[in-house]
Amino acid sequence: MKKTLRSSCPINFGLEIFGDQWSLMIIRDIVFNQKNTYGDFLNSAEGISTNILAKRLDHLLKSGLLTKHKCPENGRIIRYRLTDKGKSLIPVLLEMIIWGAENGEHNPSLSAWASSIRANKEQALKDALARIEQ
């Protein structure tokens, strides 16, 4: 069943799919922190609750941004991966990193990371894609 959107605005569409804090934190953790299991996401610094995490993962799966697969070594462990649609958000995340580092609290290591992304966005995208393919 297809969800009815509030409007046909592309910004609204993006916000309805990935516009909450937790969805972006899950995607961030997959791309930049090599996290891919429910337990990994629960252990993120922001402290997501179990019920919110379950809802966000379900939403991201239904929206076509994630897939889930049983771990070959242990079938009880479910691993989440970005789909091509989910991977297409990486440039958005890179821009958010740059914006956040320039406009948020000053953190020298994050500022340096954001500067390196700004200097070579194409390489930053390649590096992020390579990380999630490991």
Domain range list for the chain: 9-83, 89-134
Confidence (pLDDT) at 11: 83
Instruction: Give the rounded percent of residues in the chain with a pLDDT score beyond 90.
Output: 72
Looking at residue 128, what is its pLDDT?
A: 95
Count the Cβ atoms, other than its own, within 10 Å of residue 101. 21
- Residue 123: predicted pLDDT: 96
Query: Would you say residue 66 has pLDDT above 70?
Result: yes
Q: Over 90: is that where the pLDDT of 3 sits?
A: no
Distance between first and last Cα of the chain: 34
- The pLDDT score that the predictor gives to residue 1 is 44
| Cα 104 off chain centre by | 19
pLDDT at 30 over 50: yes
The Cβ of residue 55 has, within 10 Å, a number of other Cβ atoms equal to 14
The mean pLDDT of 50-70, rounded to a whole number, is 96
- Predicted local distance difference test score (pLDDT) of residue 63: 93
Give mean pLDDT, residues 20-42: 94
Q: Does domain 9-83 have CATH number 1.10.10.10?
A: yes
